[in-house]
Structure 1
Amino acid sequence: MSQENHMGYCWIILLVPAFFASSHAFCGAPPRLDFAQLDLQFDKDNFSIGENVTYSCRPGFIRDRTQTNVLICLSNSTWSTPATFCNRLSCGNPGDTAHGSVSFENTLFGSRANYTCDLGYNMLSKRNYRECQASGDWSNDIPQCEVQKCPTPNAIADGKYNPDLDEYEYLQAVSYQCNNKTLALIGEKTVFCTAYGNWSSDPPECKEVLCVPPYVENSEKVSGLSPPYILNSAVTFQCLQGFTMTGSPSVVCNVSSQWNPPLPTCNSSTVFPKTTKQQNNEENEGENNVGAIVGNLLITLTISIMALVMTNGL
C-alpha cells in the first residue's frame, strides 16, 4: 500500500466518528409547559446545539420578570431546565353574601369559591359557586340566599291565631287563643316557622273544661270561692273547728274537668268519754286474760312434775 493510500484510510477513520457525532448533535422539540406555550416561530422538531427558544404565558398566568423564559439546546442534546417564569393570576376576594358564607383554598386562576346559606335560608341562585377565570374575574354574580318561608298556619275550631299574615318567614311565631274563657287551649300556645319550612308543632285545640263546684263536708273555702271553675282554677279548704283534714287542702281543675288531687275530707277530732258498759267489758276482759294465764302456768307445772317423777322411777 502506498503512503498516499495509507494516509487516506487514516482520514476516513478519523472523520467517521466526527460524522456520526455531528449527525446526532441536535435537540428534539422543546418541552410542553403547563403555565406557558412555545412561541410559534419555534414550532419544529429539530434544533441545533446552542439554539434558543422562548415561551409566552398561557391564559390565566402572568409573567414573572425575575425568571427567564428562554430554554437552550445543550451540548448533550437536552434542553435546559425551565424556570417557573409564569404564575397564576389572582381574581381577588370573591365577595361575601348576606345570610351565608364563602369558602375557598385560594383566589388564583382555576380555583373555586363555594357558597353556603345560613340555617333558615335557601340558595336562590342557580350556581352556589364562583370560579376564577383567565381574565382575572370571578364567574357569574355572587350567589344569593333567601329566607325560608312557611305556609299559613292551620286554623282551629273555637279559636284564632295572631298575627294573621299573608306569609311567614323563618323564626316568625304565631300565638293561638280560644274564643271564650270556658274553653281551654290544649297543646302548644305558640308555634314558630322552622328552618325546614314547617311549623314547630301541631296546632292546639280548644276544649271545654268546667269542673263542678267542689264541696267538702265540715269545711269552708278560703280561696276560689266563686264559679265558674275552668282549667287551672284552684280552691283551698280548711276544716271547721273540731275537725281534722285528711288530704291536700288545695285542689286544681284539670284538663279532664276533674279536681286534682282528690278532694280532702274533714273528720271529727273530738274524743268522747267511755260508757260504764264499755268500762265493765274492758275490766271483765282483763280478768279473763289473767285467769287464762294462771291456768296455763299450772298446767305446765303439773306436766313438768309428772315427767320428773316418772324419770326417777325408771
Structure 2
Amino acid sequence: MELKDEPKPYYEVGETIQYGCKKGYVYLLPFSMVATCEPNHTWVPISDDGCVKVKCARLQDPSFGQVHYIDGKISWGSRAQFSCVEGYYLVGTPLLHCMLKGDEAYWDGPSPRCEKIYCLPPPKIKNGTYTFNDIDIFQYREAVIYTCDPNPGPDKFSLIGMSVLFCSGYKTWSSKPPECKVVKCPLPLLPNGRQVAGFARRFSYQSTVTFECEVGFYMQGSDTVVCSDSSIWEPPIPVCLQGIKKMSYFLYFSGSFCLLACFKIYLFDVRFPKSNHFDT
C-alpha cells in the first residue's frame, strides 16, 4: 500500500490518512484503507492484506493435456507449465508467465496445444529391410522389425544393433537403425591351451568361445571371448603362461578349527596351531 496524499509533518488527534494500492494490486474488501491518529498519538494499524496482486485469466487445460500452476497461483509473476498425456506432443510454448502490463495482467503468450504423436517411415538400410515398409505414417508405439537379406557369398550378413524400433516421439524412433554386414572373426587359436566351448566352422557376430590352458600353464586374460562387430575378439584372446599362477591364502580360525581359503574358488579344510597369511 501507499499514501494517496502527500504526508504532513504533524497530524492532530482524530485526523485520518487515506491509503491506496500500489500499481499491480487491487483493493480487497472488507479491509480498511484509512488510518486515524489516536489520542495517544499513534495510528490505528491497518493491514497490507487489503491489497492483492492483479491476476491473469485462469487457463484452460488443452485437449489431451493439462496446465500446472508452478507457483500455485495466477497473479502476475506466476508461471504456468503445460504437458500432454502419453501419445501426444506439445505444440507451442510449454511455459507461460503472467506479466503486468499497465494496470492489467496478461499471459505472455498463447496456450499451446497437444497433437497426436506420429512417425515417418524409419530409415532404410543396406543389405536389409524392415516390416511394414509399405506404411507412410506410423502411430505412437507402433514398431518395425529389421532383418538382413540373404548373402550370396559364403558368409551371412549379421544384424548389428537393435532389430526392433518403435515410434517413441514426434517423428522420433526409439534408436538408430541397425546395420547388416559380414562379420567374420579369425579362428580362435590359443597356444598352450585349447577351446572348450563355442565350436564352429565360421565365427560370426556374437559367436562366443571359451578356453582353458594345458596342465603346467595358467591363463592371463579372460577365458571367454566374443566376436565383435569389428570382426575381432573382445576381450582379446588370452595367453597361457608356463608355471603356476601366484595365489594368496588366508587362514580363518574358530577355536581349534582353521579354514584355508585360496584365491577365487579353492577351499581346503586344514588345522594349524596359529593364524597365518602367506603367498606362493
Q: TM-score, normalised by structure 1?
A: 0.42
Structure showing greater radius of gyration is: 1
Q: TM-score, normalised by structure 2?
A: 0.46
More helix by share: 1
More strand by share: 2
